Amino acid sequence: MPSTTQLTAWQALSAHHNVISSAHMRDWFSTDSDRFNRFSRRFGDILIDFSKHRMTDETLNLLLDLARESAVPVWIERMFSGAQINHTEHRSVLHVALRNRSNQPIVVDGQDVMPEVNRVLEQMRRFSEQIRSGAWIGFTGQRIRTVVNIGIGGSDLGPKMVCEALAPYGDANLTMHFVSSVDGSHISHVLSECNPETTLFIIASKTFTTQETMTNANTARGWLLAALGDEAAIAKHFVAVSTNTEKVRAFGIDTANMFEFWDWVGGRYSLWSAIGLPIAVYVGMANFTALLEGGHAMDQHFRQTPLPDNLPVILALLGVWYGDFFAADSHVMLVYDEYLRSLPAYLQQLDMESNGKSIDRQGLPVTRVTGPVVWGGLGSNGQHAFYQLLHQGTHLVPSDFLAPVNSQDPIGDHHAILLANCLAQSEAFMTGKTEAEARAELASKGMDGAELEALLPYKVFAGNRPSTTLLYQRLTPSVLGSLIALYEHKVFVQGIIWNINSFDQWGVELGKQLANNILPELKGERPAGAHDSSTLGLIGYCRGA
Ligand code: G6Q
C-alpha cells in the first residue's frame, strides 16, 4: 500500500498548493459572487459556510480525490458494519449504534447489539424519571436535589459539556456537579455545596479502575457514610456507569444500580451511552433521545451522502489541507454561545486523543503531520485576548466559528451584538486590511508624514486567514447531537486519510501507569527509585528534603 504522501491525489495537491498558496481569498470573493452558494451547505437547522477558505473548486476536487484514494467510503462502511477498525485493541467502534434510532441490527461478534443498547436506554429512562419525579427517595426519605458525576476524561467531558449546553432544558430543581480532577480541592468544594441526604453520586468509569475517579468515589463514599452512618445508604445515593461489573460490586454499589456499556464504545465517544446518564437525569429522557436523534441524523448523512456534499468529509479535508500543506499546527474553536463554553475542551479531547498519533496502521512511523493542537474558547471574550495572534501573528490558525441565530435568553440588543462580532471577525480574518486602506484610515484621523509612515505597518492586516462558520437556529438537543456527531466523523475521516487508528489512546494509558510508580515514593512508603536527577529533585522537594 503506498504511503499517504505517495498517493496521486496527495502529489496533485502538493503541486496545486504551490500554485494557489499566494492567492488571496479577498480576490476570489470580489470576482465570484456565487462563492458562498457553492461553498456552503445546510443540514436541518444548521448552516455550514466554508467559503472563507484558501481553496478553489479545483482544490476541493483534489481533496475529494484524496478522500476517494484513501478509501474513505470503504472505511465509513467498515465502521458502521461493526468491523474491528480499532485494530490495536481488536475492537469495533460503534458509538453510532448507541444512537441508531433506525434500530436496524448492528452485529458485533455475530450478535446484534441493538437489544442491549435499547435495554440500557430503557433502564436510563426509568431511573431518570424516578429521580426527576421524586419517586427515587434518598436514605432519609428526601428526594434527590443534587447530582454529582464523578468521572474523568471521556467519562466527564462529554456529559459535562452537554449538561451545560442544554441547561435551558434542564430540571430547575436539580443541581448538577462534575468532579473530575484528583486535586482534593475539586471534590472538597463540590461536597461543601451538597447535602448528603439529597445528593446522588454517579460514579462513571468504563474500567472502574481509574485512579482519579476511584479516589474521588471513595472520598464521596466516606463523606456520605460519615453523615448518614449506615452502609445501606450507599444503595440510595450511589449508582455506577461502567463496563466492569466485578469492580462495581467490589466498590459496594448494588449492580442493580449499575448502567452498563461496552468495550466497543470509546471513552471520548461515550456520552451517547449510559455515560450520558447525568444528561438524561438533568434534561429528561425525551431530550436525551432528541440528542441521540440529532446524532443519528448526522450518521445517516455521513453514511449516505456522496463525498462532495458530505459535511464531516468536507471539514476533515479542509483540516488536512491546512495541516499538511500550509503547515498549520493548530485549529481554534471560536464559540459565540455561552452554553457551549465547554465545547473547546470536549473537542480538544475528541480530536487530540483520537489523532495525536505518529505510528500508522501498518506499524510504521508516519511521514507527515497528523492531528492539530485544538484549542479555543468563547469568541466574545477571546476577541479581547488571544485573537491578536489570530489576526496578526506568524501562525496560520484555521478557525471554526459557532453561533446560534436565536438566543436562549433574549435580552436587549445582546444577541445582535454577539452575532455582529462573530460575523465581523470571520470577515476580518478573510479580508484583512491592505496598506492602502490602513493609510486612508490613518489619514482620515488627521495623521500624516513620518508619523503615519511609522505607524502604518502595524495597522496592516494580511487577512487570508481561513475559517468555517457554523450557524444554527437555536441550540436544541437535536442540533447539539448533530454538531457533536459532525466533529466525531470529521476526526475519523482525518484518521483514515492519515492512515492512523483514531480509536486507541496508548498515551493516555501510559499516564494511568506512571503516577502509580511515584506515589509510594512520594508518600515515603519506599525510597525514591531509579529516576533522573530532575524527578528525584522534585520528589525530594515535595518530601521536604
Ligand atoms: C477516552 C479516554 C479517557 C478515559 C478516561 C477515563 O477516550 O480513554 O479519557 O475516558 O481515562 O477512563 P475510565 O472511564 O475507564 O475511568
Ligand 1 lined by 353 (C-beta under 6 Å): yes
Q: Higher model confidence: residue 75 or residue 3?
A: 75
Ligand 1 lined by 91 (C-beta under 6 Å): no
Ligand 1 lined by 431 (C-beta under 6 Å): no
Ligand 1 lined by 268 (C-beta under 6 Å): yes
210 Cα nearest atom in ligand 1: 16
| Distance separating the N- and C-terminal Cα atoms of the chain | 56
Ligand 1 lined by 210 (C-beta under 6 Å): yes
pLDDT at 450 over 80: yes
Ligand 1 centre to CA of 507 (Å) is: 12
Q: Higher model confidence: residue 24 or residue 510?
A: 24
Ligand 1 lined by 158 (C-beta under 6 Å): no
Residue given cell 437489544 in the structure block: 115
Ligand 1 centre to CA of 155 (Å) is: 6
Q: Higher model confidence: residue 527 or residue 54?
A: 54
Ligand 1 lined by 99 (C-beta under 6 Å): no
Name which residue sits closest to atom 5 of ligand 1, judged by CA: 153
Q: How many residues does the chain have?
A: 545
154 Cα nearest atom in ligand 1: 10
Tell me the best of 86, 89, 93, 152 to mutate to test the pocket of ligand 1, counting ligand atoms within 8 Å of each CB and taking the most: 152
Ligand 1 lined by 180 (C-beta under 6 Å): no
- The residues pairing with 433 across neighbouring beta strands, listed in sequence order, are 461
269 Cα nearest atom in ligand 1: 7
Give the E-state strand segments of 13-95 in sequence order.
40-43, 46-49
Q: Please state, for a pLDDT cut of 90, what percent of the chain lies above it.
A: 94
Closest CA to 337 of 156, 176, 475, 485: 475
Name which residue sits closest to atom 10 of ligand 1, judged by CA: 154
Q: How far apart are CA 252 and CA 352, in angstroms?
A: 35
Closest CA to 165 of 152, 154, 176: 176
Tell me the best of 156, 210, 214 to mutate to test the pocket of ligand 1, counting ligand atoms within 8 Å of each CB and taking the most: 210
Give residue 2's pLDDT: 74
Ligand 1 centre to CA of 276 (Å) is: 14
Name which residue sits closest to atom 9 of ligand 1, judged by CA: 153
204 Cα nearest atom in ligand 1: 14
Residue pLDDT, tens place only, 407-439: 999 999 999 999 999 999 999 999 999 999 999
Ligand 1 lined by 207 (C-beta under 6 Å): yes
Spell out the alpha helix ranges (H) of 99-210.
114-133, 157-165, 184-192
Give residue 1's pLDDT: 66
Name which residue sits closest to atom 11 of ligand 1, judged by CA: 153
Ligand 1 centre to CA of 510 (Å) is: 12
Spell out the alpha helix ranges (H) of 146-284.
157-165, 184-192, 211-228, 234-237, 245-251, 277-283
Residue pLDDT, tens place only, 267-307: 999 999 999 999 999 999 999 999 999 999 999 999 999 99
Catalytic residue among 260, 353, 488, 521: 353
CA-atom Rg of the chain in angstroms: 25
Name which residue sits closest to atom 2 of ligand 1, judged by CA: 267
Is 384 annotated as catalytic?
A: yes
Q: How far apart are CA 173 and CA 186, in angstroms?
A: 23
pLDDT at 195 over 90: yes
Give residue 505's pLDDT: 95
Ligand 1 centre to CA of 480 (Å) is: 22
Is 58 annotated as catalytic?
A: no
Ligand 1 centre to CA of 148 (Å) is: 18
Name which residue sits closest to atom 8 of ligand 1, judged by CA: 267
Ligand 1 centre to CA of 213 (Å) is: 10
Give residue 510's pLDDT: 87
Lowest mean pLDDT among 32-46, 172-186, 285-299, 526-540: 526-540
Q: How far apart are CA 294 and CA 271, in angstroms?
A: 13
Catalytic residue among 24, 433, 512, 531: 512
Catalytic residue among 90, 384, 445, 523: 384
Ligand 1 centre to CA of 486 (Å) is: 21
Task: Indicate the pairing of strand 146-150 with strand 467-472.
Answer: unpaired
Residue given cell 430543581 in the structure block: 173
Average pLDDT in the 443-447 region?
Answer: 97
Amino acid at 248: V
The mean pLDDT of the chain is 96
Neighbour tally for 277: CB within 10 Å? 25
Give residue 511's pLDDT: 83
Residue pLDDT, tens place only, 70-126: 999 999 999 999 999 999 999 999 999 999 999 999 999 899 999 999 999 999 999
Tell me the best of 243, 244, 269, 508 to mutate to test the pocket of ligand 1, counting ligand atoms within 8 Å of each CB and taking the most: 508
Q: How far apart are CA 172 and CA 195, in angstroms?
A: 17
Ligand 1 centre to CA of 347 (Å) is: 15
Question: 519 vs 211, 214, 275, 506, CA distance in Å?
Answer: 11, 15, 29, 21
Ligand 1 lined by 312 (C-beta under 6 Å): no
Ligand 1 centre to CA of 109 (Å) is: 24
pLDDT-based confidence at residue 201 (cuts at 50, 70, 90): very high
Average pLDDT in the 63-67 region?
Answer: 98
Ligand 1 lined by 206 (C-beta under 6 Å): yes
Phi and psi at residue 427, in whole multiples of 5°?
Answer: -65, -45
Closest CA to 29 of 9, 49, 48: 49
